[in-house]
Amino acid sequence: MNSVGEPLQQRPLSTRLMVTGIISLIVFLMFQVAPQLLTSKDGDTTIISKDEVRAKAAAFAAGQLGHPASAEDEWTVLYQTDASFYGYMSREKLTEDYTKRGLDQRYPFDVFHAALHTGGSAEPLLSVDLNMYTGEVVSFATGADAAAAAGTDYGSMQVRDSAAGSGSGYASSSSAGLPAASEPDPALETKEQLALPWLQAWGVNPAKLQIAAGSGKYDLVYTDSTVTVGESPLNYNFRFSNSEVTYFRPGFTAPAWHDTYVKEQTSLANKLTLLGYGLPTLALGILALIYSILTRHHTSFARGIFLSAVHFIIMMVSTYNMLPESSGDSVEDRITAIILFIIYALYSLLMSALLYFSLVGGNGLWRKEEGLNPWPRAKEPGYGKYVLDSIKAGYIWAFVLLGVQTVMFIILSFTLDNWSTTDASQSPYNMRYAWLLPIVAWLAGLSEEAIYRLFGIRMVKKLVRSTFLASLITTLIWAMGHTLYPIYPVISRPIELTVIGLLFSFIFLRYGFIAAMFSHVVFDSILMGATLIFMQDAVNIGAGIVTLVMPFVVGYIVYRFNPPRRPERIEPAESLT
């Protein structure tokens, strides 16, 4: 960082650092990008469009479920995933074998869930799940079971009453889509007769199946013990109502011990997030407000308004983009939507306010306590070139960070045997516009570097009297905020991010806030841009490429609007006479 009053000049990049960045980028490409590219070449990984999903689901509903297409029909499409089963396979290293055996084609853990709403009703009349790649129907539900199967967790059923495992208590719809009253659970023999046509349509020989005892949330479960994935046998799950099949899904289920482990880990993650991240971050926010006032003679309250406003806008756009499409148009649905919008808006305002005071207070603390200029003004001489040089440093350090993260993944896989699973709630397939995903990179890069580096390090240093300890403490707070990601054991993510966060702290202390912010933005942009490119459709590939270069474009625009100033021409003394 430059001292206050000194001309702006970014630290030059050494040849050693640039070589390290190139090597780190190669490591990232080899171990994180190349495996996904090779996997895509092994089979058809082209995702069908949601319009195709709607058309295929409507055809299945008309041909197999007795619901002809209507002008009032509206199909909503969500990406669903069986995170439990995929996590089990990931943990036990079974995914490659699962794919080689072709089980992912007939029994996919990732599906498109198409739900049919009619007349603006909030509850779906029926739902159909399709293979994301082939478009083949892999399961269906009707009536109340269609509502119970809603959400983003494929294969989960939300049992609505104490009669779980039976057909009673469900106000289901018939296969023609008309409401019907519930009736007593049909006898086992009747259930088998109702299930038989679906098993035959699936190409299954019922003679090879066994009826599972204690089927729990399902009315009837057939097991094929000759097809297993680890400890999980192949199951054919049925539910019934009014002497009709209202739910059918073939597939695998993770063992109970695995789900228990995940539940315990999730509970731990919630505690770490609240106690290790939420409360300390709130404390930092209050201190940022206080020190914005105490250091007001060394900073400016006008600064940070623009960045905080941009942050608020991006948060609102990102929130809207993450909200699932709703088919309900009743008064209750509209009131609920308004309330949710207000809650999200207030939360976005709170986070933007935290960013604003972190910018103002952090800038004031460094200038007052250290005499350093961590966040130069646009009016300072050399600002444009300083920003451009900071962008270059940000890209090189982002490459280094990607390589370090890759190495950390490898180390943790051998030491903690960590593993990850899918998360439909964060998937770009469930966003309104997947190409907007990378704007989150700007949110993280701006807010996290301002809160935990620009303000946090100097604030905590007042307490511990050590720059390293201050950097470590704020990094741990930041790392604890990432424990809810589906990576297990949950402690592995804070370990990885402690290393990454200390590097961000080093970048900030050595190059200043702008370079640290852009290194974070570029780091996340590369990861998110790669995600879009792997989606393989033209729009998202284009958006992914734009994402990779956007930080440089922004920096170059700033540079062009703040060109180097020409030195003033001084007239010779004799010409003044």
Q: Are residues 184 and 271 in the same domain?
A: no
DSSP per position, 249-318: EEE----HHHHHHHHHHHHHHHHIIIIIIIHHHHHHHHHHHHHHHHTGGGS-TTTTHHHHHHHHHHHHHH
Q: In the structure, what pLDDT confidence band is assigned to residue 287 with cuts at 50, 70 and 90?
A: very high
Q: Which of 222, 254, 286 is the last residue of a domain?
A: 254
**pTM given for the model:** 0.89
Q: Give me the sign of the Cα torsion angle 484, 486, 492, 497.
A: negative
* Residue 424 near residue 87 (C-beta atoms within 8 A): no
Within a domain: 162: yes
Inside any domain, residue 202 = yes
Read off the pLDDT band of 223 (50, 70, 90): very high
Q: Containing H/E element for 414?
A: helix 383-415
Backbone dihedral angles phi then psi of residue 237, each to the nearest 5 degrees: -100, 135
The reply to whether 456 and 547 lie within a common domain is yes
| DSSP H or E stretch at residue 112 | strand 110-118
Tally of domains within the chain = 2
Nearest 5°: the CA angle 406, 450, 347 is 100
Query: Whole-angstrom Cα distance, residue 147 to residue 123?
Result: 6
The percent of residues above 90 in pLDDT, for the chain, comes to 75
100 and 17 co-located in one domain: no
Place of tokens 């780190």: 24
Residue 338 lies in a domain: no
Provide the 10 A C-beta neighbour count for residue 4: 15
In this predicted structure, the answer to whether residue 381 has a pLDDT above a threshold of 80 is yes
* pLDDT surpassing 90 at residue 147: no
- 326 in a structural domain: no
Give the CA radius of gyration of the chain.
Answer: 28
The reply to whether 353 falls in a domain is no
- What would the DSSP string read from start to end of 344-394? HHHHHHHHHHHHHHHHHHHHHHIIIII-EESS--TTSTTHHHHHHHHHHHH
pLDDT digits (tens, 9 = 90+) for 98-143: 999 999 999 999 999 999 998 777 789 999 999 999 999 999 999 9
Same domain, yes or no: 544 and 454: yes
Residue 23 confidence (pLDDT): 98
DSSP string computed for 498-561: HHHHHHHHHHHHHH-HHHHHHHHHHHHHHHHHHHHHHT-SHHHHHHHHHHHHHHHHHHHHHHHH
Segments in 29-148 forming alpha helices (H): 34-42, 50-64, 83-92, 95-100, 103-106, 144-148
**What is the length of the chain?**
577
Residue 366 lies in a domain: no
149 and 19, same domain (yes or no): no
Distance CA 55, CA 24 (A): 45
Based on the domain organization, do 383 and 451 belong to the same domain?
yes
Q: In this structure, are 201 and 147 located in the same domain?
A: yes
Per-residue b or e along 537-562, where b marks 16 or more CB atoms closer than 10 Å to that residue's CB: eeebbebbeebbebbbeebeebbeeb
Residues 6+ apart with CB under 8 A from 370: 458
Residue 7: domain span: 2-32+263-301+375-561
Is 453 within 8 Å of 520 (Cβ atoms)? no
* Same-domain check for residues 127 and 10: no
Domain assignment present for 178: yes
DSSP, collapsed to helix, strand or coil, labels residue 241 as strand
Q: Is residue 359 one of the residues assigned to a domain?
A: no
> Does residue 107 share a domain with residue 18?
no
Measured at the alpha carbon of residue 136, what is the angle toward residues 131 and 140, in degrees to the nearest 5? 80
Q: What is the mean pLDDT of residues 281-302?
A: 96
239 and 274 share a domain? Answer: no
Q: What is the pLDDT of residue 412?
A: 96
Q: Distance between CA atoms of 4 and 376, rounded to whole angstroms?
A: 9
Is residue 190 domain-shared with residue 218, that is, in the same domain?
yes
Same domain, 186 and 243: yes
Question: 302-316: per-residue pLDDT in tens?
Answer: 999 999 999 999 999
Residue 184 has pLDDT above 90, yes or no: no
